[in-house]
Structure 1
Amino acid sequence: MHRQKFNSVKENFLQRRYGVRLGRRYVLAAAGVMLMGVLGCSQVNDSTSALAKSPLPTESPSTKKTVTPDTKVVAANTKFSFKLFSEVLKKDSKDNIFISPSSVAIALAMTYNGASGSTQQAMAKALELQGISLEEINSSNAALKILLENPDPKVQLTIANSLWANKDTSFKSEFIQRNKDFYKAKVTNLDFKDSRSSGVINTWVNENTRGKINKIVETIEPEQVLFLINAIYFKGNWSNEFDKNQTAEYPFYIASDKQKQHLMMSRTGDYRYLENEQFQAVSLPYGKDGKISLYVFLPKENNSKAFYENLNSDNWEKWMAQFSKQEGFVRLPRFKINYDITLNDALTDLGMGEAFSRRANFSAMGKNLAISQVKHKTFVEVNEEGTEAAAATSVEIVPTSAVEKPKPFRMIVDRPFFCAVRDNQTGSVLFMGSIVEPR
């Protein structure tokens, strides 16, 4: 029973992580971590391996006979995915949204290896990793990489990581080594003063996403000392492609009072299907074995708000268990979306605000560092063949002294207000009131 449950969780993770958000031939994600500041300990001396002389602290996960990701880490990734989506939805509910939680999670997991103290606790809360050891997190991510890279004989999926170091900067060896051992990160030394260095990094990203993401680093600023980059590449056609001859224009209802004509793909077949009072849902598989799928959920009319309020990891797992094989007809719009968002606010709301402040503690990678920005960009196109998608996540870390200072504010007290008189030494509030009409 336990093994059956684990297999279900594993299969759902594969489908969920790289199926739900995607649909034409290629699915790609690139996550970049930019680390800036003065770091201490082991010096980066070699352009191909910054720590070639350092001993491996543990056996490389890929050499183990069995590969088993911890179900707690899989569950944590799922919870983080839906929490992150929910936060993004709150701020952008009236526009198209398309994110890659896997891209963000991998970038932050690599960064998490450098966090300490309350900053590590805050990141663990945001990433749903409380109670899971760093070794379990890293080992499970390594195991997931191996599992995900072998989803189907006719499906390609690769996950690549790299560290790009300023040749004049020192780093803590354990932080670098963990990223090499568990994330198989390629470590390369660069002269960050050379304007061509950003091109070298972007070339690696371009190659590891098969040309679908050609740039993640615009320019290298003087204070930057390290970039951690993640790239994910997926290529797979639908198990049963849509017939292009069946594609035609039909009305698409943007709102109850607004519609447009749009190209829609149509197909009849046997699908895993679920319907209840909230929605209809179908699983559209990729490849020969269908281990990865696109899940499409269609809320019932006038029920979108309730659906998204119920869209969380617990309900997701319940829904996944309720799909059953059924013959039916699917009409799905072709679409192409470009999306970008800065995730600072969303991640702060998830509990890791300290990592963006002067109180940040990344002492496991170096001294006086903080995250200044987490940017996320995606692209997706769905058509008759499958899905083409790309995502890039950039986590920028700066010296705590460089954390942005608050902008000058404007406060025009021209409406009813609250006020109080407080003794700051004792904290006693001596007077308070609501002023509706000053006289």
Structure 2
Amino acid sequence: MKNNIIASVLVLSSILLLFMKCTKTPDEDLPKEPVEIELTTKQIALIESENSFAFDIFREVAENEGSSQNIIISPLSISCALSMTLNGADGTTRDAMLTALRMNGITPEEINSSYKDLTEALLTVDKRVLMTIANSVWTEDRITPKQTFIDILEDYYNAESKEFSITDPTAPDKINEWIEDNTNGLIKEMIDKLEDNTVMLIINAIYFKGKWKLQFDEKDTDQELFYKPGGTSVEVPMMKQTDDFKAYDGDGFILAEFPYGQGNFVMDIILPDARDGVATLLPSITDDTISGWLQQMMTRETDVYIPRFKYGFRKKLKDILTDMGMGIAFTDDADFTNITEYPPLLINDVIHQAFIETNEEGTEAAAATVVEIGLTSMPLEPLVFNADHPFIYIIRETSTNSIIFMGIVADPLTE
């Protein structure tokens, strides 16, 4: 058995229902076990590329910020916003964006159609979980984008087409209102000001709310010590339960799976044995290693201790995406002539903001990404899963392994 383990929570998930006006099915009539999503060869290739991108950008952000801070990103949100933008790129700029997205060998057309089909599947797979995804493209009155570009975003990403003026002082407020409305109020005041050269914004917003399949009883939650980076400790509300969970007791860590709803969406938590083990574990957090660990999980009785946590995170991604291969898109050499032939365009920055709250009932999370475009089987001993120190998290959908949220909890009390 392993005590006092640093947690790494992997939150992989999917997308939202945009229209929920149909008659609600009683819970007792809904499936109680995961439903398999059938994937085409192209969809499998897209998910593999998305997951490679997810782990790469998560490690880049964690290394840039330091693993001693709370972090959350939605790789799906970032990837979706950049994939929409990709349709406006051409030449070496498009190639560079495909490299950064880890989608070499997949055409923009294949990316668009796979996103459309996969999103529809993810949105309907578990009616016990609420997910929404919204996209929009905001055009400034100084340019006229090609209709083919707007049509692609509307047809494949269900993107709303809106207009703004850089001289309108209320423009940031209108954009922020759209983001807040499409994240259930969790992402606020994302845009404080727009650069004078801004002529287009491409935005993705994701919202997720899932109740634990096996909920924690609030009466069992006690104040317990959580060991922060550096050796200091704080008292936090620690949720507790004992039940059968899938887990893998690895070399220097424990990986456990905590399902939402009927079980299609889960939170995977990686708990290093050492209290300061997150930084050591991060380099091994790749798509291949996680897939291998997941395949070795088995159901076993587990004593679970997880802190409540609630926090937000904001990051400008220009430098990180440059390091990942798409630096040309941020320079005067950028080619976005599939948006408009003139004037020449570049990406000013890619802004990402996310929020998560996990408690006895489940998890509520949201994220938004803004691409700002400017001119130029044997019985086992009961397992102890004690997340009383920093951890990494991911939310995913189990049959596709699509990743939505990833983060690090360094201090559950810091919002």
TM-score, normalised to structure 1, is 0.73
2:115 is the counterpart of 1:120: no
Alpha-carbon spacing, 1:158–1:255, altered in 2? closer, same or farther (3 Å): closer
Q: 2:13 matched to which residue of 1?
A: 18
1:89-238 to 2 correspondence within 5 Å? 89-93=62-66, 94-167=68-141, 169-238=143-212
Matched, 1:376 2:371: no
Give 1:67 shift: 7.6
Q: Distance in 2 between matches of 1:231 and 1:306?
A: 32
Q: State the 1:198 CA deviation.
A: 3.4
**Cα distance, 1:133 vs structure 2:** 1.0
Contact 1:67 1:146 in 2 (8 A): no
CA RMSD across the alignment: 2.2
Match in the other structure for 2:407:
none
| Distance in 2 of aligned mates of 1:17 and 1:256 | 29
Is 1:80 aligned with 2:56? no
> Is 2:324 the partner of 1:350?
yes
Question: 1:98 is matched by which residue type in structure 2?
Answer: I
Q: After superposition, give the CA deviation of every residue in 1:346-385 in whole Å (9 maximum; x if it has no partner).
A: 1111111111122211111124211121222222221111
Judged with a 3 Å threshold, the aligned counterparts in structure 2 of structure 1 residues 74 and 156 are, in CA distance, closer, same or farther, namely: same
How many residues are matched?
341
Contact 1:273-1:325 within 8 A present in 2 as well: yes
Please tell me whether residue 71 in structure 1 is matched to residue 66 in structure 2.
no
Q: Determine helix, strand or coil for the equivalent of 1:79.
A: helix
* Unpaired stretches in structure 2, ≥5 consecutive residues: 1-9, 17-37, 377-415
1:389 alignment partner in structure 2 = 365
Is the contact between residue 199 and residue 374 of structure 2 (CA under 8 Å) also seen in structure 1? Answer: no
Query: What amino acid is the match of 1:17?
Result: L
Structure 1 range deviating more: 366-375 or 197-206: 197-206
Q: What is the deviation of 1:323?
A: 1.6
Check the 8 A contact 1:247/1:263 in 2, yes or no: yes
Residue pair 1:151, 1:157 contacting (<8 A) in 2 also: no
Aligned to 2:287, which of 309, 313, 319?
A: 313
**Contact preservation (8 Å) 1:280, 1:299:** yes
Task: Return the alpha-carbon distance in structure 1 between the equivalents of residues 249 and 196 of structure 2.
Answer: 55
Task: Report the Cα offset of residue 104 of structure 1.
Answer: 0.8
Distance 1:339 1:82 in 2: 17
Structure 1: unaligned runs, 5 residues or longer: 1-14, 20-26, 29-65, 401-439
CA shift digits 1:43-78 (9 cap, x unpaired): xxxxxxxxxxxxxxxxxxxxxxx9846211100000
The DSSP-based 3-state class of the residue aligned with 2:321 is: helix
Larger radius of gyration: 1
Q: What residue is the counterpart of 1:290 in the other structure?
A: 263
SS in structure 1 at match of 2:314 = strand
Alpha-carbon distance in structure 2 between the residues aligned to 1:338 and 1:222: 28
Q: Would the aligned equivalents of 1:150 and 1:156 in 2 still touch at CA under 8 Å? A: no
Structure 1 ranges of 4+ moved more than 4 A: 66-69
- Once residues 330 and 305 of structure 2 are traced to their aligned partners in structure 1, the CA distance between those partners, rounded to angstroms, is 44
The structural deviation recorded for 1:173 is 1.9
- Matched with 2:338 is 364
How does 1:47-66 map onto structure 2 within 5 Å?
none
Give SS of 1:235's match. strand
- Separation in 2 of the partners of 1:226 and 1:185? 14
- Give the 3 Å change call, closer, same or farther, for CA 391–258 of structure 1 in structure 2: same
Do the aligned residues in 1 keep the contact of 2:12 with 2:266 (CA within 8 Å)? Answer: no
What are the superposed Cα offsets for residues 72-92 of structure 1, whole Å, 9 maximum, x if unpaired? 110000000000011112112
**Residue 251 of structure 1 contacts residue 262 of structure 1 at CA under 8 Å; is this kept in 2?**
yes
What TM-score does the superposition give when structure 2 sets the normalisation length?
A: 0.77
Shift of 1:169: 2.8
Q: Deviation digits for residues 85-144 of structure 1, max 9, x if unmatched?
A: 111121122322211111111111111111111111111111011011111100111112
Q: CA offsets, 1:133-172, max 9 Å, x none?
A: 1111001111121012113121111211112223453111
Q: Hey, what does 2:405 align to over in structure 1?
A: none
What is the rounded CA distance, in whole Å, between the counterparts of 2:132 and 2:112 in structure 1? 18
Distance 1:179 1:106 in 2: 11
Query: 1:74 is matched by which residue type in structure 2?
Result: I
The 3 A distance-change label for structure 1 pair 91 and 194 is closer
